[in-house]
Chains A and B, each alone.
Chain A
Amino acid sequence: QITLKESGPTLVKPTQTLTLTCTFSGFSLSNAGVGVGWFRQPPGKTLEWLALIQWDDDKRHSPSLSSRLTVTKDTSKNQVVLIMTNMDPVDTATYYCARALGKIHDQWGQGILVTVSS
């Protein structure tokens, strides 16, 4: 059974840095073709892709956010970490991680609602 779970703060202040961890089980990030992607969804809005890290440490970031985003993996811990700097109220959203087979995201975590407010 494949599971993913996002963890981290649910409230951050403007200008702060957000660090989210995706802890997964049922697959390995050391297997060829496997990756973990990050997405977000502001309340009532559509989904936005943020980043993708692959088994070989190849990384892709949304160009509009690339200067603020860092994604890393710890294969031994089955974790992927997303760091987003300089948070703003417009970054308030539910953040999801998902397993990627190639670029197809087939299994998703439940998501974590992050609110940016002073």
Chain B
Amino acid sequence: DIVMTQSPDSLAVSLGERATINCKSSQNILYNTNNKNYLAWYQQKPGQPPKLLLYWASIRESGVPDRFSGSGSATDFTLTISNLQAEDVAVYYCQQYYLAPYAFGQGTKLEIK
């Protein structure tokens, strides 16, 4: 099974600043045939279901603000939240959908400093 590991487990960032969350997969999740990384990022607020933010590692879902961006390839990925807003307080998860079981990272809790 592919294991997804996020860092850090928690993060406190000042309003207006940048938050960076890392995600590492235990195997390459870049499919060479289509040159796509099979990685998604989700945001989850308390009492709510996960919300898809990014897929193919860097494609923003419709309606997601452009302060959310994704980068990386193969085994190492990053979610960057620029100009942090109060409503960005949440737990963030990465997920690989390259190979079943489609595992998630353990989550990163983002708070305001």
Contacts and interface: CB of A to CB of B under 8 A. Distances in A.
B70 interface: no
Nearest to A50: B101
Contact of A104 (B52, B101, B103, B107): B52
Interface residues of B, number: 22
A37 B100 CA distance: 12
Contacts of B103: 49
Q: Chain B's interface: helix, strand, loop or mixed, by majority?
A: loop
Interface string B72-112: 00000000000000000000010101001111111100000
Nearest to A60: B100
B67 to A, nearest CB: 20
Given A46-B93, A103-B38, A104-B40, A109 B104 contact: no
A61 to B, nearest CB: 8
Interface in A13-68: 37, 46-49, 52, 60-64
8 contacts: A49-B95, A49-B104, A63-B100, A98-B49, A104-B55, A106-B55, A106-B61, A108-B49
Interface of B: 1, 38, 40, 42, 48-52, 55, 61, 93, 95, 97, 100-107
Given A47-B104, A52-B100, A107-B52, 12 more contacts: A37-B102, A46-B93, A49-B100, A52-B102, A60-B100, A62-B100, A96-B49, A104-B52, A106-B52, A109-B49, A110-B48, A111-B49
